[in-house]
Structure 1
């Protein structure tokens, strides 16, 4: 009752009419919030994910330890960041479960960046080298970026850069720290993605919240739940957009050149709240966390402190469904996929752990026209869920990149696979 009383003091009753406006959202706690982790059983030798007719899915590489994120270098090499939480997700949220994605939930972070090179262009890498390790300064690495003669790596607590020459396969130097990033003891959302603008004059950094809704203290959320921006030398680090609970994937929409991101929303409000989303990112924009979700829908668990002046939150552009854990994001700008995919967005959904019936565990495609979503999301890569009424899944997709030949690579972190999706004809 105290929380609701604070709301009534802080806001006029008329604002509550907005709660069910956007996307006809259900009421908070309309369904019970559950812990429902999947049991990852892996892929048999002949099994692959399923893509639409005309596409071929093959195993590009395997044997990784939690391959999370990828980056394509100027010469076409694929860099793979192998990383994970350094402590159990079970301990993190205080849950007791069975079969929570196998032993992967208990693993430490490998802290490795692996380089893959396909020298004969047959769709399978024939060179595999360890580019960087913990010895060179990796600490839960995620986003990677090359600007000039520098390779940038976003650790969970800092952005490092390494001297790099095109085609290099091993780096022995310890990374130079160019910027500290917020991590600390409360670090539920540990991944840090990075992307540069067109002229490489700015680097954007996606930083998730420390916990779910700031329940462990907003003092732990300084510079978090934001997209940050800085100069390549680390100077002028500041908030570019705020109130984004856990932004992960970032890419530039190819027509308008606008930054877009995929965001994981809050837990604990029920099966169908709150929707993860895909949205354009406005400089100086505020997207609601922790006080509201999907625009001006208030979270009844979060009291509004008297000293907080709440700005009107921007409503996201596109719903990706609740608890889908939408991570990877890439706009398709090559020409080998059918025309309908040109300039559209692919979003990789790692999958739910807190929904009665599993959601996500797939790659979806969102068509775009004139820089905006132009239709419903379409399943593109499926087959990860064995049976929707059971909790068994074959794997959990995470990140995506488009290769110079137009094919797409998808990481599957719990099984250590990277899948290649190519269009081979009708």
Structure 2
């Protein structure tokens, strides 16, 4: 049999050709990023298509909202059709907001006539390929932060320069530098972010396991995986771990009264319908440990023998224990003055709904009042009805809650692909 030999130059050309073919999408993205960072046009059509806001889909969502029950005097309406709508960042100066997803789009939602609903929804920065751009938040001076699975981007004056495909952008944390690439996973990859009064960017990093193996604990703790990190929102410098002992938080928010950082935590799967309890936690200072993987809620974690270890003495207990597997996600403090007094300064939080319970639970909005010392008082169901009790099917799955300047609140829903507006109309 005759052997075919390839010259060194030929082999090199073949290798380069294969490499170019394999990395073409990544190379194109690098080119797009370089162009936008240099304030150059990308060549993408600036006439971005709009998401239809009327029709059968909108009518069906409005019909489903009739099933949602709330306290007397409150009303809920469709605000916008937004595919895969997850976490929201309401613009500080204009009547619009940005909405993240767990897919590849960030949406710009605009209300041009200051009416009861948005007037247009279109893709933000379509020349960039996002990867799970779930987390969106603002700096004090109007930079939009987008926290992806393994990258953080910053967009100056995004609310004023979102109309076309090209926007100014900078990399706060380059691709592959938020967490080690080998720890990327389809599990727990949705990030959330907020900027604190200290000007630092806070980002929650869910750990990629149902329960982390013991050999991963040291590295995860050092990197902030299974915790909340903070860093400079413009350069990514001064990164440090702010809180640890968290399984997977997909909702963080500062209390504007005292700057305490509150966050939800999602439960360990496979332990049964009723355990572990869900959590809403409060971090009052840097360095607090919240128990995971030794304990979650009030339940010891048995996998890898964590229940045989003593619970660390410095563990901070949850402020609120919620029903197991309801999937507590986004939360916000009500800052408006249109709702009755009992709701002012309290927490509205979203439960996405269970996926692994014998009897489904969740798909609702909770309200938690606070005591004078800033700790949690009482938690109650505020809005319920997206989970059909007869069919056990979801008609919607709330993800996040946000304040509008007019005193109403918004609720995002990634199942229905919508954002709702809740107002108080009086009794």
TM surpasses 0.5:
yes
Asked if 1:211 corresponds to 2:204, the answer is no
Residue in structure 1 matching 2:113, options 112, 120, 143: 120
Q: Distance in 2 between the 1:299 and 1:305 partners?
A: 5
Which stretch has the larger CA shift, 165-174 or 68-77?
A: 165-174
Structure 2, unpaired ranges of 5+: 1-58
> Per-residue deviation at 1:304?
5.0
How many residue pairs align between the two structures? 354
1:66 corresponding residue in structure 2: 84
SS at match of 1:47: helix
Q: CA RMSD in A?
A: 2.6
* Structure of higher RCO (CA pairs closer than 8 Å, 6+ residues apart): 1
In the superposition, the TM-score normalised over structure 2's length comes to: 0.77
Structure 1, unpaired ranges of 5+: 1-41, 85-108
SS at match of 1:245: coil
Q: Distance in 2 between the 1:76 and 1:410 partners?
A: 19
Which stretch has the larger CA shift, 346-355 or 217-226?
A: 217-226
2:290 corresponding residue in structure 1: 287
For each residue in 1:355-389, what CA deviation from the matched residue of structure 2 results, as whole angstroms up to 9, or x when unmatched?
A: 121111100111112212122x22211111111x6
> Per-residue deviation at 1:50?
2.7
SS at match of 2:289: coil
Q: Distance in 2 between the 1:215 and 1:291 partners?
A: 12
Asked if 1:81 corresponds to 2:81, the answer is no
For each residue in 1:35-55, what CA deviation from the matched residue of structure 2 results, as whole angstroms up to 9, or x when unmatched?
A: xxxxxxx94552303322111
Distance 1:384 1:239, change over 3 A: same
Q: Distance in 1 between the 2:311 and 2:384 partners?
A: 44
CA contact (8 A) 1:43 1:395 kept: no
2:63 corresponding residue in structure 1: 46
CA contact (8 A) 2:300 2:306 kept: no
CA contact (8 A) 2:250 2:264 kept: yes
1:413 corresponding residue in structure 2: 414
Q: Distance in 1 between the 2:63 and 2:263 partners?
A: 34
> Per-residue deviation at 1:293?
1.9
> Per-residue deviation at 1:73?
0.8
CA contact (8 A) 1:261 1:278 kept: yes
Distance 1:357 1:235, change over 3 A: same
Q: Distance in 1 between the 2:94 and 2:371 partners?
A: 29
Asked if 1:138 corresponds to 2:130, the answer is yes
- Judging by fraction of residues, say which structure has more helix: 2
Residue in structure 2 matching 1:172, options 160, 166, 172: 166
Q: Distance in 1 between the 2:350 and 2:308 partners?
A: 39
Distance 1:306 1:322, change over 3 A: closer
2:188 corresponding residue in structure 1: 189
CA contact (8 A) 1:136 1:174 kept: no
For each residue in 1:279-338, what CA deviation from the matched residue of structure 2 results, as whole angstroms up to 9, or x when unmatched?
A: 11141011121222236x531222359999955422111112110100010010110011
CA contact (8 A) 2:90 2:98 kept: no
